Amino acid sequence: MALTKPRVTQLAVFCAVIGMFLATPELPAWRLVVAATVGIWLLSGAAFAVNCLVEREIDARMARTARRASASGEITPRQILLFSAVIGGAGMWVLYSMVNPLTMWLTFATFVGYAVIYTIILKPATPQNIVIGGLSGAMPPALGWAAIANDVPMQAWLLVLIIFIWTPPHFWALAMYRRDDYAKSGLPMLPITHGPELTRFHIWLYTIALTATTMLPYAVHMSGLIYLVSAVILDAIFLAFAWRIYRHYDDILARKTFTFSIIYLSLLFAALLVDHYIKL
């Protein structure tokens, strides 16, 4: 269970479920929602298990991850690979047979993007790894939308864009207060390669970009006033955190910013769902 990184998986699946409900003006068929949720959850868990496998030596050098069973050797690489293959294969079967082939192939492409392109290629190669590789983590709303509509229209890609822009300030806040850990890992994270000051400035810039991006659903008449008011309030709080990180940094503030960023995304997507069914 720990190999699937359940807390991260839950947020991804939550965003996928929101995409399912936004894909139709009516309530989607519950059997389709359940099947899509299970399939996406299984393939997401498989991707995170591969991540644990590839990064087991890196995880062993970091205090935050040293106790993972993959890092400690409690679970062998062969067991991890078998586990990932079984749940990933099951997820693909569920999506193909009970949902639709488009959702299966999009979810499989997301698996490859995260487990291979991001984890193996980008993460050890560039400090912009989280920016480029963030597309894989941003895909869940499109996967959920495809599950119900068998299509991925512009509205779904707007949700993907929001998560894509949200990812850097979210992750760099973590990297800032865990910078000593990341220095031990050998990964080229931005606070290590370019210093804390530039990272703080990037957090501020990306949060401004995120604020602008979250206005797009309202601008294209995808959502109404409930979402707009919620987004403005949430963006104002996130901007305040980012400004304080930029101008008056400390590790406790970075930890609070990281925690709030998770709450922020959850509430923002919940507001989209409420607005979808209660138009003002």
Query: pTM surpassing 0.75?
Result: yes
pLDDT at 110: 92
Question: Which three-class secondary structure string do you get for 8-67?
Answer: HHHHHHHHHHHHHHHCCCCCCCHHHHHHHHHHHHHHHHHHHHHHHHHCHHHHHCCCCCCC
Q: What is the pLDDT along the chain (280 residues), one digit of tens a residue?
A: 888 888 888 989 999 999 999 999 999 999 999 999 999 999 999 999 998 888 888 778 877 777 788 888 888 989 999 999 999 999 999 999 999 999 999 999 999 988 888 888 877 777 777 777 778 889 999 999 999 999 999 999 999 999 999 999 999 999 898 888 777 777 788 888 888 899 999 999 999 999 999 999 999 999 999 999 999 999 999 999 999 999 999 999 999 999 999 999 999 999 999 999 997 6
pLDDT at 155: 95
pLDDT at 280: 64
pLDDT at 129: 76
Check if 1-152 and 153-280 are the same fold. no
Domain ranges for the chain, please list them.
Answer: 1-152, 153-280
Neighbours of 221 (CB within 10 A): 8
pLDDT at 120: 81
pLDDT at 256: 96
Q: CATH 1.10.357.140: does it fit domain 1-152? A: yes
**CATH class of the domain at 153-280:** mainly alpha
Judge contact between 59 and 70, C-beta under 8 A. Answer: yes
